[in-house]
Amino acid sequence: MAYITEYLQLLSSVQKRLKESGDKAYVAALSHAEVLATKEELEKYGIAIKSEFVLSTQQSMHLCNYHRLKYDSGASYVDVKGLWDSFDWNVHTYDVKPLNGYEKVLDLGNNLPKELYHKYDAVVDNGVYEHIFNIGLAIVNSILMLKNNGYITFYGPLNQPNHGFWNASPTVFVDIFRHYGFENLFFQGVRMNLDPEGHLSSASYFPLQDTIAGQVLEGECNYIVVAKASADHIDRCAKLKELDKLYPVQSKYLSILS
């Protein structure tokens, strides 16, 4: 559960959009995440991290070893709380257990508590959904947490067996966004590139086939998706719930089943 540089750039763009409203944004982060970009790299994208959020040498070495990064003793690695502080977000972090002592307990694979309905300006995925067995309900629950015009982000695997329970097909996002009336703002695959020593060295974007089958993926590939809810999102959710249609039909079967 970590943020690569490319994902952080997109979160920064969401932050700028939310800032335009003038109000402090309330954001749900789905689990604690580690930041796979240094303080120096983040500053290139206008993300200034205070020195109090810089990790110790031991913490930095552990982060790099766990996430296959080549440790740079001259770089400053940062805690995710520094990212939220820089964004000036009011963040509630959710997980099934408070593993870091500050998370609020929530199981997205079960029914969403009523008090979390339409509470947040944004829901940020930290690579969580693939680890939840009831993944369809988890995605719908996240959508139900959004306010009108709220933002949702997704980051997870396309072709990594046993990383979690699931790998996603791009049609998942196309169909769920169509069903709930979202605007798809960013929809790309990202290939993780390794150096000869097996360290993550860079990442490169590639286009995803939205609903067409047959795309063959080589290497370690993930998806990065950002979408915006409609101005009538809350009413739309209520109507779909009333009709017992919280889940979409796959695009290629729409004409058959309509």
Q: What is the pLDDT of residues 171-181, one digit of tens each?
A: 999 999 999 99
Structural element, H or E, at residue 40: helix 39-44
Q: Are 53 and 10 in contact (CB under 8 A)?
A: no
Q: Using alpha carbons only, how large is the chain's radius of gyration in Å?
A: 18
What's the pLDDT at 2?
A: 78
Mean pLDDT on 57-76: 95
Question: pLDDT at residue 213 above 90?
Answer: no
Nearest by Cα to 235 from 147, 175, 170: 147
Domain boundaries, the chain: 2-251
Residue 4 binned pLDDT confidence (cut-offs 50, 70, 90):
confident
The pLDDT assigned to 1 comes to 62
* Residue 34 pLDDT exceeds 70: yes
Q: How much is the pLDDT for 195?
A: 93
Give the chain's mean pLDDT: 95
pTM of the predicted protein model: 0.95
HEC per residue, 5-22: HHHHHHHHHHHHHHHCCC
Give the pLDDT confidence score for residue 117 in this predicted structure.
98
Position with higher pLDDT, 39 vs 254: 39
Q: What is the per-residue pLDDT for 214?
A: 86
Q: Any idea what DSSP says for residue 159?
A: S
For the sheet with 104-105, list strands across it: 104-105, 90-95, 26-30, 120-125, 146-157, 220-228, 183-194, 200-207
Rounded to an integer, the average pLDDT of 154-180 is 96
- 192: tokens are 């993780």
- State the pLDDT confidence band at 160, using cuts at 50, 70 and 90: very high
Residues 223 and 24 sit within 8 Å (Cβ to Cβ): no
User: Is the per-residue pLDDT at 145 higher than 90?
Assistant: yes
CATH number 2.60.40.10 given to 2-251: no
Place of tokens 């959009």: 17
